[in-house]
Amino acid sequence: MRAPTPLSLHDLTALTRTYAAEVAAGQHPVQEDPLHRWSRRLVADDVVDVWLISWTTDQIAELHDHAGSLGALTVVRGELVEQRWVAGRGLRSRTLHSGRGASFPLGHVHDVANTRAETAVSVHAYSPPLTAMSYYDVSPAGILRRTRTELTNEPEKAPETLSV
Ligand SMILES: [Fe+2]
Average pLDDT of the chain to the nearest whole number = 93
Its pTM stands at 0.92
Given a contact cutoff of 8 angstroms between Cβ atoms, the answer to whether 78 and 57 are in contact is no
Q: Is 10 annotated as a binding residue?
A: no
How far, in Å, CA of 139 to CA of 147, rounded? 11
Q: Is 64 annotated as a binding residue?
A: yes
Q: What's residue 1's pLDDT?
A: 54
- Show the domains of the chain with their CATH numbers: 9-29+37-161 (2.60.120.10)
How far, in Å, CA of 42 to CA of 124, rounded? 10
Per-residue model confidence as pLDDT tens digits over 54-101: 999 999 999 999 999 999 999 999 999 999 999 999 999 999 999 999
C-alpha 111 to ligand 1 mean position (Å): 6
pLDDT grade, residue 13 (50/70/90)? very high
- Beta-carbon neighbours within 5 Å of ion ligand 1: 156
Q: Is 28 annotated as a binding residue?
A: no
